[in-house]
Chain A
Amino acid sequence: MLTSLYVEGQTWFHRAPVRAKLIALLALSIALFATNSPLLLLPAFLLCGGLYFSLGLTLRQAFARVGVVFFTILVLAVVNLFLIPVPDVLALVLRLMALVLFAAAVTATTTIGAFMDEVTVLLRPLERLGLVRAADVSLALGLVLRFVPDIFARYQAIREAHRARGVPIRPLTIIGPLIILTLKDADTIAAAIDARGFRRQ
């Protein structure tokens, strides 16, 4: 449960520094929105697609990751056909798909640890202003990863209990108890964090 979308690999894109990839993504999104010419957008789309499909994902995995987004883009494109000129629709589809492919490529080649190091750097100015502590962000992230399996197990237990008592399984009767039981742990978890000195200045 909750394994990252990172894919093991040794391609040049895997080895490229995370910061460079994120800056490239930002630059690409600005550049793609600056042009409307299919002559520029088509090569961009092909390059991003080529990059994404060369990262070691199987075709199936690769499509599964971007499938829903592509489907939405295509549905909206069909709607657009009735509303705006056809070359514009083509430009929009190519641009958005190129961007999505590049973004998916960054995700597939960057580990959570590497992302978090960049997040820590990005938070530095906020930290200097005293608005947030990077250590708190990684602690919160750790807590989520730690407790998702427990909360899911609790969800299944509540569902079982419903079944055992012959009560129909409705989201409402499950969500209420699930939230109460989970949030009630907050005090003990917070006490444990303080007792272990995790947030020492």
Chain B
Amino acid sequence: MDIRLTDCSVRFGDREALHPLTLALGERRIGIIGLNGSGKTTFARLINGLVKPTTGRVEVNGLDTVKDDRAVLAEAGFIFQNPQHQLIMPIVSDDIAFGLKNRGLPAKEISLRTEAVLARFGVSHLARRRVHELSGGETQLVAMASVVVTGPKILILDEPTNQLDLRNRRMVADTIEALDEDTIVITHDLGLVERVERLLLFHEGRLIADGSPGETIRYYHEVAGC
């Protein structure tokens, strides 16, 4: 991936959610940690243009998140903290197909791609199931499939293992590690970022550590005071 932030800050009303930051991210596996309200989710949303910078600019693979916001959304897929909110059609395969339909693809192509992506995530058996009946782990996998099917090069995952039991957590973690796409994982689950190439730590709206997982996690314990 090639993400560049130049003097970028975010303000909501009079609250500085992210202090001015200049940063370049080029690795394939990146993790982001921090306490609640530290600015890590704001940072993640900044990268795919869901949040626009108040000052400065953000470029994702050469695209500006303000000027080319549609293109950025296609380039960087976002998997939300509560994947339930992301699946918006009643049946799994319809949900996955819906994103493709709006791109004007022929029906044949849509069903082929839908089947392929479900198979890739090992959830072909869920194709005709109702979205609201899926388990937590299934929902997370289907949510990932629904984003990956549209072909983003970068995936941003916000708390992907939140509320999952041990077995589902393991399954989702393995799936993320095996993805062909570049990933940025925001999480409280330190096990999930132990092996990333670069781990960022946010605290009170500032980037305070940026390095290998071992170092950054040590800082995190200091900041959290435990």
Q: Do chains A and B touch in the complex (CB under 8 A)?
A: yes
Residues of A within 8 A of B86 (CB): 192, 195-196
Pairwise interchain contact B70-A195, C-beta atoms closer than 8 A:
no
| CB-CB under 8 A for A196 and B50, given A142-B88, A142-B89 | no
Pairwise interchain contact B94-A196, C-beta atoms closer than 8 A:
no
- Interface 1/0 per residue, A139-150 and B, CB below 8 Å: 100110110011
Count of A-B contacts with CB under 8 A?
Answer: 67
The verdict on A188 contacting chain B, using a C-beta distance below 8 Å, is: yes
Residues of A within 8 A of B150 (CB): 196-197
Pairwise interchain contact B85-A135, C-beta atoms closer than 8 A:
no
**CA–CA, A143 to B74, complex, Å?**
22
Interface residues of B in 129-185 (CB under 8 A from A): 130-132, 146-147, 150
Residues of B within 8 A of A74 (CB): none
Total chain B interface residues with beta-carbon distance under 8 A: 27
Whole-angstrom distance between the Cβ of B189 and the nearest chain A Cβ: 21
Pairwise interchain contact A143-B88, C-beta atoms closer than 8 A:
yes
- Interface 1/0 per residue, B103-133 and A, CB below 8 Å: 1000000000000000000000000001110
**CA–CA, A17 to B184, complex, Å?**
51
Pairwise interchain contact B88-A197, C-beta atoms closer than 8 A:
no
**CA–CA, A199 to B102, complex, Å?**
7
Whole-angstrom distance between the Cβ of A146 and the nearest chain B Cβ: 5
Pairwise interchain contact A195-B131, C-beta atoms closer than 8 A:
no
Whole-angstrom distance between the Cβ of A151 and the nearest chain B Cβ: 10
Pairwise interchain contact B103-A200, C-beta atoms closer than 8 A:
yes
Interface residues of A in 137-175 (CB under 8 A from B): 139, 142-143, 145-146, 149-150, 153
Whole-angstrom distance between the Cβ of B94 and the nearest chain A Cβ: 7
Pairwise interchain contact A149-B102, C-beta atoms closer than 8 A:
no
Pairwise interchain contact B70-A200, C-beta atoms closer than 8 A:
yes
**CA–CA, A153 to B99, complex, Å?**
27
Choice from A153, A185, A197 contacting B85 with Cβ under 8 Å? A185
Choice from B48, B85, B99, B146 contacting A189 with Cβ under 8 Å? B85
Pairwise interchain contact A145-B50, C-beta atoms closer than 8 A:
no
Pairwise interchain contact B50-A191, C-beta atoms closer than 8 A:
yes
Closest-by-CB residue of A relative to B85 is A188
| CB-CB under 8 A for A145 and B70, given A195-B78, A196-B150, A197-B102 | no
Residues of B within 8 A of A150 (CB): 84, 132
Secondary structure type dominating chain A contacts: helix
Secondary structure type dominating chain B contacts: mixed
The verdict on A193 contacting chain B, using a C-beta distance below 8 Å, is: yes
The verdict on A194 contacting chain B, using a C-beta distance below 8 Å, is: yes
Pairwise interchain contact A135-B88, C-beta atoms closer than 8 A:
no
20 residue pairs A–B, Cβ–Cβ below 8 Å: A142-B94, A145-B89, A146-B90, A149-B130, A149-B132, A188-B80, A188-B82, A189-B85, A189-B88, A193-B88, A194-B73, A195-B73, A195-B80, A195-B147, A196-B147, A197-B99, A197-B102, A198-B99, A198-B102, A200-B70
Whole-angstrom distance between the Cβ of A37 and the nearest chain B Cβ: 47
Whole-angstrom distance between the Cβ of B58 and the nearest chain A Cβ: 15
The verdict on B53 contacting chain A, using a C-beta distance below 8 Å, is: no
**CA–CA, A153 to B150, complex, Å?**
31
Pairwise interchain contact B80-A197, C-beta atoms closer than 8 A:
no
**CA–CA, A199 to B99, complex, Å?**
9
Closest-by-CB residue of B relative to A149 is B132
Residues of B within 8 A of A146 (CB): 87-90, 131-132
**CA–CA, A192 to B156, complex, Å?**
13
Residues of B within 8 A of A191 (CB): 50, 80
Choice from B77, B84, B87, B130 contacting A195 with Cβ under 8 Å? B77
**CA–CA, A149 to B102, complex, Å?**
25
Pairwise interchain contact A195-B88, C-beta atoms closer than 8 A:
no
Whole-angstrom distance between the Cβ of B159 and the nearest chain A Cβ: 13
In order of increasing CB-CB distance, the 8 nearest A-B pairs are A192-B86, A145-B90, A149-B132, A188-B85, A142-B89, A146-B90, A195-B78, A196-B99
